[in-house]
């Protein structure tokens, strides 16, 4: 069975099975290291632990008598530091923040900070470059519940010798606003690996992070992991739960990899997105499981100030072999996208029980650089996803979200605050248990979406008695849908090829103001 190497670390390796089935296989395979079986799995992405640094190994994958193998060498390690040697107690009660920070701060380049089994009660910890954090199984960082113990990161700082020079230290929902530091905070660091089977628990249910969430109290809520202006960061196998707000937030960062992770937040927890990549380039989320109280993965690039003054679009993003469950959207683009989002590839994933599958949301006011383009979703299974794909350019967020400027469905002049949507390619999708609508697209009349391409889609709806009417997009003066196939409005070009729809209440798509329509195989049953 063919496989590729996703990442080699000091004490572990992650591999990815090459096959066409999303997320996992029907038949298990065995992983062997130096000829000895070490694990059996059905997952397309799996990790082998227990390796030694700077050591050559042979790894093989065997299934049904067929074996593929390769040789690799783990990364070198200069020093190994045990956090308990710094006085960390790990009893879940003693505040270990200072001891853990001392271990991180003093770790030499190329060294590893080792979190052995224990519950380390801690406030925010700040990363440094060129180190590894290694978590044993049953090693837990448990978040301090007292917000007064959390440093405040200024939203924006200015240079004393050049007042026009500024740096966004923190962010809240697309704006440079004061926010509490996160449990793991990296600012301007590079070459960091965070590995192991440990857990970072934000401990939000036992604090006041989820209480009165729209009121700023000293500063806005922390994330669990915040990476600001970082590069070459890899997080492998870690579990994260109970985040105060967004769980993992890379911000103006490049070359970031999240591999074989687990992220869980309760379904009623506010604003607890799984991953929010904001103005990031070359980012991968591979083999990861996410179940949260908001969007599983959200791709962003700030609101109008950051998108113009500190322009950087999110681009070159890969999401592959992930299981995304129970969020508002499995993969969302927006709505804070003033810098644009481009070249996104969502492949071989399983979406399970989310409200929406692919969710694109923007609005007037995001700006002329707010261009969403080249979004590809390919070979994805969607189970019990109520609305598999939606595009909404009237999203009613922000204080002015319900004003006529944002919500007017009539033609408005194109200006420097008008966003745009380029090409969306939706291919090789299998949807079962649809409730409201297979696809709903409502672009701006003054700025139609350039291309919506639907190809090789098989969609089936819930039985009629199980359906509930729901509004597929968050905008004013739009209607609920139930059992509807396709609704598209204000699109330059629509391409439909080999789309099979079973169980909808209509027998043709609802197409309004579509300039160019090409249909080659659209079947209703």
CA angle 131, 134, 139 (to 5 degrees): 145
SS (H, E, C) 125-183: EECCCCEEEEECCCEEEEECCCHHHCCEECCCEECCCCCCCEECCCCECCECCCEECCC
The residues with which 501 forms a beta bridge, in sequence order, are: 459, 524
What is the Cα–Cα distance from 201 to 239, expressed in whole angstroms?
Answer: 8
Helix, coil or strand: residue 411: coil
Instruction: Judge whether 113 and 132 are in contact, CB under 8 Å.
Output: yes
What is the Cα–Cα distance from 486 to 498, expressed in whole angstroms?
Answer: 14
Convert 503-516 to b/e letters by CB count within 10 Å (16 or more is b): bbeeeebebeebee
**Which residues are catalytically annotated?**
294, 328
Give, as one character, the DSSP assignment of residue 307.
H
Q: Single out the residue of 251, 228, 249 nearest to residue 127, CA to CA.
A: 228
Element (H, E) at 242: none
Instruction: Judge whether 167 and 156 are in contact, CB under 8 Å.
Output: yes
What is the Cα–Cα distance from 123 to 185, expressed in whole angstroms?
Answer: 11
Q: Single out the residue of 395, 352, 392, 359 nearest to residue 375, CA to CA.
A: 359
Instruction: Please provide the DSSP assignment of 221-235 as one string.
Output: PP-SEEEES-EEEEE
Radius of gyration of the chain measured on its C-alpha atoms: 23
Q: Please state whether the peptide bond connecting residue 335 to the residue before it is cis, i.e. omega within 30 degrees of 0.
A: yes
Give, as one character, the DSSP assignment of residue 328.
S
Those residues with Cβ within 8 angstroms of residue 336's Cβ, 6 or more apart along the chain or in another chain: 173, 174, 278, 300, 301, 302, 303, 366
Alpha-carbon 431 to chain mean position: 21
The residues with which 514 forms a beta bridge, in sequence order, are: 491
């Amino acid at each position: 069975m063919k496989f590729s190497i996703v990442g080699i670390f000091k004490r572990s390796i992650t591999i990815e099975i090459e096959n066409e089935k999303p997320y996992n296989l029907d038949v298990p395979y065995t992983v062997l290291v130096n000829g000895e079986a070490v694990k059996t799995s059905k997952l397309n992405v799996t990790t082998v632990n227990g390796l030694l640094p700077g050591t050559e190994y042979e790894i093989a994958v065997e299934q049904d008598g067929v074996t593929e193998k390769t040789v690799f060498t783990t990364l070198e390690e200069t020093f190994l530091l045990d956090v308990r040697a710094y006085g960390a107690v790990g009893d879940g009660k003693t505040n270990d923040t200072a001891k853990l920070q001392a271990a991180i701060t003093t770790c030499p380049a190329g060294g590893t900070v080792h979190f052995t089994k224990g519950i380390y009660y801690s406030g925010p910890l700040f990363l440094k470059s060129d180190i590894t954090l290694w978590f044993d199984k049953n090693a837990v960082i448990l978040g301090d519940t007292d917000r007064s113990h959390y440093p405040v990161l200024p939203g924006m700082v200015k240079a004393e010798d050049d007042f026009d020079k500024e740096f966004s230290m923190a962010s809240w929902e697309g704006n440079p606003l004061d926010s509490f530091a996160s449990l793991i905070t990296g600012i301007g660091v590079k070459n960091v690996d965070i590995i192991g089977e440990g857990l970072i628990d934000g401990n939000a249910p036992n604090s006041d992070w989820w209480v009165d969430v729209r009121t700023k109290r000293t500063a806005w809520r922390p994330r669990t992991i915040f990476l600001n202006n970082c590069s070459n960061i890899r997080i492998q196998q870690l579990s994260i739960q109970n985040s105060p707000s967004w769980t993992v937030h890379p911000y103006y960062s490049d070359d970031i990899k999240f591999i074989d992770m687990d992220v869980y937040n309760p379904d009623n927890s506010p604003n607890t997105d799984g991953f929010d990549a904001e103005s990031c380039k070359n980012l991968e989320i591979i083999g990861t499981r996410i179940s949260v109280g908001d969007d599983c993965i959200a791709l962003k690039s700030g609101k109008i100030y950051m998108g113009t003054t500190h322009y950087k679009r999110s681009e070159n993003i890969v999401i592959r072999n992930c299981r995304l469950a129970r969020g508002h959207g499995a993969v969302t683009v927006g709505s804070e996208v003033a810098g644009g989002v481009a070249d996104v590839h969502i492949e071989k994933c399983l979406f399970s029980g989310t409200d929406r599958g692919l969710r694109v949301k923007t609005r007037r006011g995001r700006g002329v650089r707010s261009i969403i383009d080249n979004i590809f979703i390919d070979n994805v299974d969607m189970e019990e996803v109520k609305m598999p794909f939606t595009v909404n350019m009237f999203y009613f967020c922000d204080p002015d979200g319900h004003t006529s400027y944002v919500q007017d469905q009539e033609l408005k002049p194109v200006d420097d605050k008008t966003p745009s949507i380029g090409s969306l390619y939706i291919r090789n999708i299998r949807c079962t248990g649809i409730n409201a609508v297979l696809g709903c697209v409502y672009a701006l009349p003054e700025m139609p979406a350039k291309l919506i391409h639907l190809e090789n889609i098989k969609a089936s709806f819930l039985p009629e008695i199980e359906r509930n009417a729901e509004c597929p997009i968050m905008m004013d003066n739009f209607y609920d849908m139930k059992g509807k196939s396709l609704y598209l409005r204000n699109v330059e070009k629509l391409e439909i090829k080999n789309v099979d729809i079973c169980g909808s209440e209509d027998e043709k798509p609802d197409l309004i103001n579509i300039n160019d329509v090409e249909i080659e195989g659209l079947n209703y049953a």
